């Protein structure tokens, strides 16, 4: 799961998640769609299943706390390194 407020990055990520194809498969096969598409990037197929989506939603609630922890870890590591390298 990726969140961003950068529209350009969001568009690129969306394309990468669709095998790098320029159009969504459902849009291609709809009545307004076209069979024509371009491969814009070497993409991947990253579909989340329901369990992964559920875990992701609940982890978003913990995001702030997890980010604070990640910020503290390098400081702890640096302090320990200084103690043992003296």
* pLDDT averaged per 10 residues in sequence order, the chain, 86 residues: 86 76 65 69 74 91 90 81 79
Quote the pLDDT of residue 51.
94
40 close to 11: Cβ distance less than 8 angstroms? no
Give burial (CB, 10 Å; 0-12/13-18/19+) of 43. Answer: middle
Segments making up each domain of the chain, as ranges: 7-85
Q: According to the model, what pLDDT value does residue 81 have?
A: 82
* Measured distance CA(9)–CA(24) in Å, rounded: 17
pLDDT value at residue 3: 82
Instruction: Round to whole Å and give the CA distance between 41 and 28.
Output: 18
> Residue 55 has what pLDDT?
93
């Amino acid at each position: 799961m990726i969140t961003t407020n950068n529209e350009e990055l969001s568009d690129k990520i969306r394309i990468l998640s669709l095998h790098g194809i320029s159009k969504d498969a459902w849009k291609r096969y709809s009545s307004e769609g076209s069979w024509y598409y371009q491969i814009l990037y070497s993409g991947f197929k990253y579909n989340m299943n329901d369990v992964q989506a559920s875990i992701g939603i609940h982890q978003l609630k913990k995001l702030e706390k997890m980010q604070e922890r990640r910020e503290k870890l390098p400081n702890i590591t640096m302090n320990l390194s200084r103690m043992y390298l003296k």
